[in-house]
Structure 1
């Protein structure tokens, strides 16, 4: 279910110049990065790249979804972390992404941790946006 424009609470605005070998910045100036292809793709690796930016956003959003779910479930997730690995590779349409989300939740057992990340995956806006479009693997 999509949201309507009147329901938007916040809109982030970023502008890129020269694609993967240029610059990306937000309209408020809080982010301003040189963007370069990673060494693994023949670039200098001297700047960040879109996959790193996506991984940062996805991991932060998923961690917040985990916080929301843990409150509902009354689970202690203090000290938890979420790591997003975003892979870029060739597919039938040119290029595509694959994601692995790894959660470390030290204060709960493995079954509870798994249940929490499954529930977080259902409410995380990034997970909703990517569902059915890319492979997202969940790990604890």
Structure 2
């Protein structure tokens, strides 16, 4: 077994006794609704997109700072919900787009590949055929 020393832990809870709510133990609570529902609230697709965008951009910035470079960057993440081909069940596709101010697309491509290898959220979803990273102009 691999020794995994945790440096941070959080626990999210969703239970049927509190409809449409997911909460962090002793913290944040969000109203959760299905993505196709017209009710007000957040959905898993939005939270996944926000988590990955935040993590990938922070990782990109850490890589830039390690090289003593200061450039603004932006990560845009698109998460789509798809119905399985057999009509039973669903799956996500997720695509991240990195833009770095003052970088060529080739420079941004190298950075996003390195960030994707190091970002904890990327590591969690990496290898899925419906996940990829791209670059775009800032």
Distance 1:74 1:90 in 2: 45
- Give the 3 Å change call, closer, same or farther, for CA 96–105 of structure 1 in structure 2: same
Distance 1:133 1:91 in 2: 15
Alignment of 1:1-140 (within 5 A): 4-5=3-4, 7-18=5-16, 22-29=20-27, 31-38=28-35, 41=36, 43-78=37-72, 80-91=73-84, 94-140=89-135
More helix by share: 1
Aligned partners of 1:76 and 1:107 also within 8 Å: no
Give the deviation of 1:64 after TM superposition. 1.2
Corresponding pairs, count? 131
Provide the TM-score with structure 1 as the length reference. Answer: 0.82
Q: Which runs of 5+ in 2 are unaligned?
A: none
Cα RMSD after superposing both structures:
2.0
- Give the 3 Å change call, closer, same or farther, for CA 76–108 of structure 1 in structure 2: farther
